[in-house]
Each structure stands twice: as C-alpha cells, then as structure tokens.
Structure 1
Amino acid sequence: MKALLTMLNLPYKDESLYELALTHASFANENQTEKNEKLEFLGDSVIGIMMSDYLYREDLADEGTMTKRRAQAVCEEALVKYAETIKLKDYIKLGRGEMNKGANDAMIADAFEALFGAIYLDLGFKWAQKTFDKVIVPNLNLVWNIKDYKSTLQEYIQAGDKRSISYHITKETGPSHNKEFEASVRLDNIITLGVGTGKTKKEAEQNAAKDALKKGNYDHQETL
C-alpha cells in the first residue's frame, strides 16, 4: 500500500482509509471487516464533479457533447484503463475464492472510485484534484473511443418526440461479493426497450441500452 501512495505522491494521514478503499467485499466477508462500497459511492461523485469541471473549463463542445464525453470518461471501462496506469489491481484485497480468478473489471473500477473517496476524506478536494490531474487527465485519450450506449440511446429517443427513457434494476443474483444485476430500459416508464446483465448496475444498464439499440429501428449500426 505504501508503494502505491508514494507513487501517487500523497502526503496521507490515515493509511487505513486507503486499505479500506481496496478491500473487496469477498475479503471483508471472510475476515469480518468493512468493505469499500461506501468509499466507492463517495469516489464516484468526486470523480464525476471533477470530470464535469474539466470538460467545462476545456470548453470542448456544447452541453450534449460534454454529457456524452463525461459518460465515456467515467464509465467502468474508462476507470479500468486509468487504474491500469497505476497497477491498482495488484493492491486490491480479495477473498480466497476471488483471489484464484483475480480482480475483474468491475472490482477494479470500484476500487479506483473508492481510492478517490479515500483521498477526498483523508486529504480533501485539493489532493483529490491533484490525483485526478495526475492519473486521469493525461490518459483521457485512451477513453474517447469508448462506446457509451446509454448516451447513444438517449440521443436517438430525444431526437424524436422528446420522450423519456428510464433504467430499472429488475433482478439481483449471487452472493454480496459476486452479484450479477439485470436491468431494463423503458420508454416513458412503460415500454421495455431492452434488457441487460452485468457485474455492476452500471454495466447492466449499459448492456440494456445496447440491447435496445440492437432491437430498435434507430439507424445505429455505425455506433455498435
């Protein structure tokens, strides 16, 4: 852990926060300790506001394009790419069963968000911003080509009669440390357009949107 914090040049105060950030539920369940999910929740918001601020200050495009760019830059696939640049996977604490398989993308993305939550709690917004500038901004070129199916579906739907779409988690299966989620995307909260599954709610929603694009007459072939 100290090697990671030194690499990030963090003048940390509470090392236990960073240990918690990298504690997956499978390890927590086996060792009767706390898991990183609350820090993940916080870190998701920290990264989100910093990305919005970055895109606004860069004045890259209009609101619609910035929204799409933000979705690309904070999706699971993007978070994994950032995490790879600091070898975060090597520091994640897993239970014995998960250790044999290694951390999957969902675990890595969650740990990356939790790390930002820990930095924010330990050192404040200033150091979280410095880490964002050090780890995320230089690697944004790696994520601009990521397909964001939710934004694409939203564009097609709203290009017509301004109808609304919403996402619903319809099923959760598996133990707490290895859940699988099923999501549906609905038009006007009534008509189901697509269904998808994933290891996280975000992944399930993306796959539901992808399913909707495949099924619907949205002239979307070039986006898939």
Structure 2
Amino acid sequence: MNELFNKLNIKPKNTEIYVKALTHTSYAHENQTEHNERLEFLGDAVIELMMSTYLFNNDLSDQGILTKRRAQSVREEALVLYAQKLDLTNYMKLGNGETTPKPSMIADAFEALFGAMYLDLGFKETYKVFLNVVIPNLKLVENIKDYKTQLQEFIQLERKSLTYKTFKTGGPSHKPTFKSEVYLEGDILLGYGNGSSTKEAEQNAAKEALSKVVKERV
C-alpha cells in the first residue's frame, strides 16, 4: 500500500480505511472482513462534486454542456482509465473466484479510494489528488464510447423518448447479475443487455439497441 500512497502523494492517517476501499465483496465474504461498498457510495458523490467544482472553475460553457462533460468524465469507463494509470488492480483484494477484476469492480474500487481519502484527509487534500490523477487524463476520456449517450442522441433526432428497466436476475449478494431493457416511447423494446452492475447492463442494452436502430436507418 505504501507504493500506492507514494503514487497518490499522500500521507494517510488511517491506512486501514484504504485497505477496505480496495477490498471487493468476494474477498470480504471469504475472509469475514469489511468490503468497499459503503466507501464506493461516498466516493461516487465525492468524485462527482470534485468534477463539478473543476468544470465550474475552468469551463465557461452553459449548464447543459457542463452536465454532459461531467457525465462523460465520471462514467465507468473513465474511472477505469484513471484507475489503470495508478495500476489500481495490483492493490485490490479479490475473492478466489475473481482472478481478473471486471471493469465495474475497478471503477467501484476507484470510487471507494476517493471515499477513503475524503474521510481520512478531507476535501482539500483529496482534491489535490483529483487534480493530479484525474484532470491530466480528461482528454483521453472524451472519445470513450458511451452507448447510452449515443443512443439518446440518435433517438432525440426524431424527438422520441427512451426508458430503461433494470432489475436483478440472480447471483449471490456479493456477485449479483442484472438485466436491462431499453424501450422507445415507453413500450417498444429496442434491446436488452446483461451485466454485473446496473450500469453495465444498461450500457449493453443500449449497445444492442443502437446496432438495431442504425441498421434500420441505413
């Protein structure tokens, strides 16, 4: 962990909270220890607030554009990219059945890490890390494919609406599976997708729907 702390350029007060931030539920269940889900919940809000703060102070665009840029910059694929720059997977604790972390698990760990830093060091010190770790990589995430956004923009050309219905389909509490269905105008099924998180399932549903509507328009 000291190697990670050096990369982040922080001096933690409570090292245990960082260990918890990088502990997946699969490892926690096998070893009867705490996992990172609550820290993930907090870190999600912390990162969004910090991105909002940065954009507000450095981008003079209107609210609609700022909202879109923030969403693109804190979405799962972007978080995974930031995490990869830290080699975060090298420090994650996974259960025996999780030899390779899924993108959603990496993104969750990155969020939990920021939740841990916020609790341990406060907003000011955590924001310094955010500026060093996230901001230099913003250009890299601008072109990340976001299937939900692409589908939304495509459908808006015809002034129609999209809705997602996502529900848990099975799996143990530490490894649930989800299915998402995307509907046009509330009742026309465009596509569906599965995933290990609601975000992943919705992205896969949007990806399938996008492939269909693009073919129909060609």
Q: What TM-score, normalized to structure 2? A: 0.89
1:163-222 deviation digits (Å, cap 9, x = unpaired): 54332213332223333221122334433332111222111111212222222259888x
Shift in alpha-carbon separation, 1:159–1:141, aligned structure 2, 3 A? same
* Structure 1 outlier segments of 4+, above 4 Å: 217-221
CA distance in 2, matches of 1:118, 1:180: 26
Residues 71, 148 of structure 1: 8 Å contact kept: no
In the other structure, the counterpart of 1:173 is 170
Which whole-Å CA distance do the structure 2 matches of 1:30 and 1:211 have between them? 36
In the alignment, which residue of structure 2 is the partner of 1:197? Answer: 194
Residue 25 of structure 1: how far off its partner (Å): 0.7
Structure 1 residue matching 2:39: 3-state secondary structure: helix
Q: SS where residue 23 of structure 1 aligns?
A: coil
Alpha-carbon spacing, 1:58–1:20, altered in 2? closer, same or farther (3 Å): same
Is 1:140 aligned to 2:138, yes or no? yes
C-alpha displacement of 1:106: 1.8
Shift of 1:22: 0.3
Sequence identity percentage: 56
Deviates more, 1:180-189 or 1:46-55: 180-189
Q: Does the Cα contact within 8 Å between 1:20 and 1:34 map onto a contact in 2?
A: yes
Q: CA deviation at 1:96?
A: 2.0
Q: Deviations over 1:78-113 (max 9, x none)?
A: 111111111111100111222xx2222221111001
Q: Distance in 2 between matches of 1:170 and 1:207?
A: 14
Q: Which residue of 2 aligns with 1:103?
A: 101
Tell me which of 200, 206, 209 is aligned to 2:206.
209
Task: Describe the superposition over 1:10-60 as per-residue Cα deviations: whole angstroms up to 9, x where unpaired.
Answer: 232111111110000111000111211111111111111222222233326
User: What's the RMSD between the two structures over aligned residues?
Assistant: 2.2
Contact 1:68 1:151 in 2 (8 A): no
Contact 1:165 1:188 in 2 (8 A): yes
Equivalent residue for 1:86? 86
3-state SS, counterpart of residue 82 of structure 1: helix
Provide the TM-score with structure 1 as the length reference.
0.87
The amino acid of 1:107's aligned partner reads M
Shift in CA distance, 84/174, structure 1 to aligned 2, threshold 3 Å = same
CA contact (8 A) 2:166 2:179 kept: yes
The aligned counterpart of 2:24 is 24
SS of 1:96's equivalent? coil
Q: Are the equivalent residues in 1 in contact too, given 2:168–2:176 (CA < 8 A)?
A: no
Which residue pairs with 2:113 in the alignment?
Answer: 115
C-alpha contact (below 8 Å) 1:164/1:187 kept by paired residues: yes
Greater mean alpha carbon deviation, residues 168-177 or residues 75-84: 168-177
Query: CA–CA distance in 2 between the matches of 1:27 and 1:166?
Result: 35
